[in-house]
């Protein structure tokens, strides 16, 4: 389950440069379920998912396919 988008300076830079979105996710989720959730929710193609555990918080870095600009999704979510 996707909890919320991360709105740090680094996350915004990743959206603009790397076509990557950053979300806080449920600690029980795995990469495959995160990928499926994002693809269904935003109707985009996910290229890669990286996950970092920071204590009790799990952060997912989701790189989108080049045909799907991350900046469009970030704008819809109010990140930019």
Percent of the chain that is helix, strand, coil (3-state, to 5): 40, 35, 30
Q: What are 26-69's pLDDT values in tens digits?
A: 999 999 999 999 999 999 999 999 999 999 999 999 999 999 99
**Residue 73: per-residue pLDDT:** 95
- Whether the per-residue pLDDT at 79 is higher than 90: the answer is no
- φ, ψ for residue 67 (rounded to 5)? -75, -15
Sheet containing strand 2-5, edge to edge, reads 2-5, 20-25, 57-64, 46-54
Strands 46-54 and 57-64: antiparallel
- Strand-pair partners of 51: 60
- Whether the per-residue pLDDT at 80 is higher than 90: the answer is no
Domain 2-77: top CATH class: alpha beta
**Residue 67: per-residue pLDDT:** 94
pTM score: 0.94
């Amino acid at each position: 389950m996707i909890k919320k988008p991360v709105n740090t300076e680094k996350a915004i830079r990743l959206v603009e440069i790397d076509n990557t979105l950053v979300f806080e996710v449920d600690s029980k989720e795995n990469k495959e379920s995160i990928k499926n959730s994002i693809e269904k929710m935003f109707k985009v193609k996910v290229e890669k998912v990286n996950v970092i555990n920071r204590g009790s918080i799990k952060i997912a870095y989701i790189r989108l396919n080049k045909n799907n600009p991350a900046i469009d999704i970030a704008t819809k979510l109010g990140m930019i």
